Structure 1
Amino acid sequence: MENTVSKLIQRHKTNCPFTIARAMGIQVRFHDLGTNTRGIYYRKLKRRFIVIHNQLSSEWQRFVCAHELGHDRLHQGISRFFLEEHSFFNPGKFEMQANRFAVKLLVFNSEIHQEETIEQFCTRHGIPEEMHRFF
C-alpha cells in the first residue's frame, strides 16, 4: 500500500486527494447522501465517480475523498459505500484498507515532531479523530 501511495503522490506531485482524483479523471461530486453515508465510489460506463456528503466538515470531506480514492486504487472493479455503520464501528476488510490508504496519503512524507503524540500528529494533518487508529 505504501508503494501505491508513494507512486500516486510522485506522479501527481501532491497528496491532496481532490487534486489527485481530478488528475486521474475521477469526477468528484458533492450531494446530500443522508445521515448514514459519507461517501460513495463507483464506476459507470468506464467513468469513475466519488460522491461526498455535502454536509460533512471540510476535514471529513478531505478524508472521505482520500478513502474513496483508496477504493479506486486498491479495489478496482468494486463499488463500495463508506457507510458509518460498517466503516466507523465495525469496518470490513475493504473499508479498513481504504481507511489506512487515506491516512497514509494524508500524512505522506511527514514525520511526528518530537514530543508530539500520534493523536496530535493526525490532527495536524486533518485526519478526523475517529480515524486516528488507522495510522
Structure 2
Amino acid sequence: MKKDIKKLVQYYINKFDTRNPFELAEYLNVEVMTGPLGGRAGCYMFIKNHKCIFLNEDLEDHERTLVMAHELAHSILHRKQNCYFIRNQTLLLTSKFEIEANTFAAELLIPDELISDNPELTAEQVARLAGYNAAIMKFKKP
C-alpha cells in the first residue's frame, strides 16, 4: 500500500495544531538530542524501544529545522529503521525511505498556501521564501 504522506502530514498538523517538527516530536514522545555528528547532519535511531533523533550541533536554524522534519518523518514512517541524514546528499538520494522522509519534510515545512498565495514565484523562489534549499521543492506534492 502506497503511503499518502501529504494526508499523513496534514493529520499531524491538524491534531497538534503545529507545523513545527520539534513540537511534533515532543507530542509524539520522540527524544531529540544535539551534539557533534561529524559529517552527518542528523540521524534517527530506534534504541531500546525509544525513538531518538540526533541533530548536529553545527547546523544553522533553517537547516536544523529541515533535518529535524526529515528525521521526524523516519520516526513516523520507518519506526524501526536507523536512518542518517548526510549533509549535501540526502536531498539527492533515491532510496524509498529517503524520498518518503523528504516528501514528509517538504509537506510539513512548505504550506500549500505559500504556493497558492504566490503564483508568480518559481518553485525555487517559494523554497527560498520559506528559508529552504530549492531541492526540497521536488518533493512537494500539488
TM-score after normalising by structure 1? 0.89
Match of 1:66 among 59, 65, 69: 69
**Aligned CA distance change for structure 1 residues 43 and 128 (closer, same or farther; 3 Å):** same
Deviations 1:95-116 (A, max 9, x none): 1111111010111342321311
Structure 2 residue 9 is matched with structure 1 residue 5 = yes
User: Residue 131 of structure 1 aligns with which residue?
Assistant: 136
TM-score after normalising by structure 2? 0.85
CA-CA distance at 1:18 after TM superposition: 0.6
CA-CA distance at 1:89 after TM superposition: 3.8
Ranges of 4+ aligned residues in structure 1 off by more than 4 Å:
none
User: Residue 78 of structure 1 aligns with which residue?
Assistant: 81
1:126 maps to a residue whose letter is G
- Distance in structure 2 (CA, Å) of the matches to 1:4 and 1:16: 15
User: Once structures 1 and 2 are overlaid, which stretch shifts more, 21-30 or 81-90?
Assistant: 81-90
Q: Is this contact kept in 1: 2:93–2:99, CA < 8 A?
A: no
**Aligned CA distance change for structure 1 residues 18 and 27 (closer, same or farther; 3 Å):** same
Report the count of equivalent residues.
Answer: 134
User: 5 Å matches for 1:1-135?
Assistant: 1-35=5-39, 37-84=40-87, 87-112=90-115, 113-135=118-140
Deviations 1:11-66 (A, max 9, x none): 1100000110011111111111012x111101112221111111011111000000
Q: Is this contact kept in 2: 1:33–1:52, CA < 8 A?
A: yes
- Distance in structure 1 (CA, Å) of the matches to 2:95 and 2:133: 19
CA-CA distance at 1:88 after TM superposition: 4.1
Give the secondary-structure state (helix, strand or coil) at the position aligned to 2:98.
helix
**Aligned CA distance change for structure 1 residues 94 and 27 (closer, same or farther; 3 Å):** same
Percent of matched pairs sharing the same residue? 28
**Aligned CA distance change for structure 1 residues 97 and 13 (closer, same or farther; 3 Å):** same
Q: What runs of 5+ residues in structure 1 fail to find an aligned partner?
A: none
